[in-house]
Structure 1
């Protein structure tokens, strides 16, 4: 019989790390190969009781676990132990293989179960040396339980050569990059927008407008964000398929946008002329309380009307389509209306004419009204269209 030192140890199902050896090199006549499953995957997923002794039974256990959960690394450890068993057999050793398991929650009960199964295996097969196969450090915490009963020849960790999750992540990443480049729905935003910014910046520099390039680029970026945020691009696309809901949505977007622009111009016109004539820097003008208060006073009413026009158009569009989303559209309008008075009070605070407690009171009242309105609307539509209508709505 060959000596242990002459055995070529190459347990390598995918990649093997033989990182430690315990005990002196000596002659072993009977060797037991232990495969440790500390969290009892073989019992929970495979439905098998341990200990499992013998090559054929271990092959069955590994196959069963692989069928139930192909990604479980314990499958690799089981077949790695079988490979180690075969190599011992080929070298002429009297060898046996056994699979022992703990419990799902590990701990003292799990280690006690492993201890009992080790004693059971050694009672059936009286080995004088053991090889421990595991798939990681967690299973290897049970090594002292074996070491106290039989000399350990070697500890071998079976490591998967390439993690499937990493490989899958790269595949998903490549797929999404391809979508961003070749799918018109995404490329127009992720490629078209940066392309427009680069072209604009380049032309501005060529024609000597480098100072205006940044402002122009920011304006383009802001316009693109507004178009995407309010689905204006989709609404324009629906013009090729004329429907009442599509026309209402497009009209409300354009009307609301024009009113919002008018509110900005109206706010600028409310700024006292003497401030423009004072030759102050742009920073001083922007941070001036009089400027902020005057601009907000002239802007808020028209701004709220413009936003309400857009929200009302969305509400009518969804109502024509019979969509349950009208619940959220109504709540948007309610919340927008309830924010109008607090915004006016905030404007008064900027000019130091208001009372902060009035603002707090308005916000609390608005919150209460919002909760009541939301409760009423959801209850109304739940009774009218059934609870499932709300549950399965995709927003």
Structure 2
């Protein structure tokens, strides 16, 4: 039984890469073609198709079947001419080898369209389609998707919003209309992107952590912060109430000035309360108070005075509030006078500058006092750093010195007597003993 194992190439990749004309028949010819195409384009899937063709032929030969290996290519001009070229080459192979059946090897959907051409000329027992497992783009995409789905944080950040959007949009489109539903979904997505872009989740986590630590450590600032929040709400309410009492106002400037004029005192008191709590925490911890905490209350009062002065100036120009009038008489014998808007503004600004200078001076004074206290605490022990003068004498080296530079020698020490001669050497003693020994002479 003769079987034709044919590899189909509709777009003539073989001819384009190697310059050979098909059909290419024979085991050795196809084997050499694998090397040629692999060297020309290692990434071409046609190499795998040729190897699969050789493998199928080898399996058939192992089963004692006669297998004819062939590669048939089409034409690059058009699809019709390509199909006709394949049909002509198949007719030549069938006329020469007379196969009883065929096994078709393909590697793409384009080549699969040639299967009916083969079936019209010989019985096709099998169609072997080669799929490359490790195609670079497909494999990279697969592993990226796999890694993406394995990351829980990425799934919650990307897949959950997309799923909610696809789930909510049809309901909104049914209830309020497609345009309104799309607008609502877009707004929610925009808020979510801003939430992630500004890392609001991390900021809220940090604030919650600080609040928890403050509660557990018993800091006074927790109470003052709550009080400051309440005072802030009162200030906002007072500002809104003042704006609501305005009549026939045009534009935004005057309502904004009225809101600032009514709310600034409460907001300033709220800031003072919060800063006082933070300052008390520093005092309780018995640590050096930083100058920024000391200066903050004065800055708050100064800024509040400036904002209230400017807002009062604009409101007085619009005759919404009256100028300040000091009545005559009272505790001090002064004549009555009126402070106009410009004078009030100047008074507020000058007072704010004076308060800020006083705060800076006090902060600098207390910071210097804390620094001097630290230096005083650190100077109690002896320091190894000298001023460059002579070091004090060492008691061990000055024990035998009377202060005049002359060494005192004990006269009772026989070794200190200057009249004593030098000690006899060992060599002279041995010579005298040798001279006085009679046995030594006789020998």
**TM above 0.5, one fold?**
no
Q: TM-score normalised to the size of structure 2?
A: 0.36
**Structure with the greater relative contact order (CA < 8 A, sep ≥ 6): 1 or 2?**
1
Q: TM-score normalised to the size of structure 1?
A: 0.40
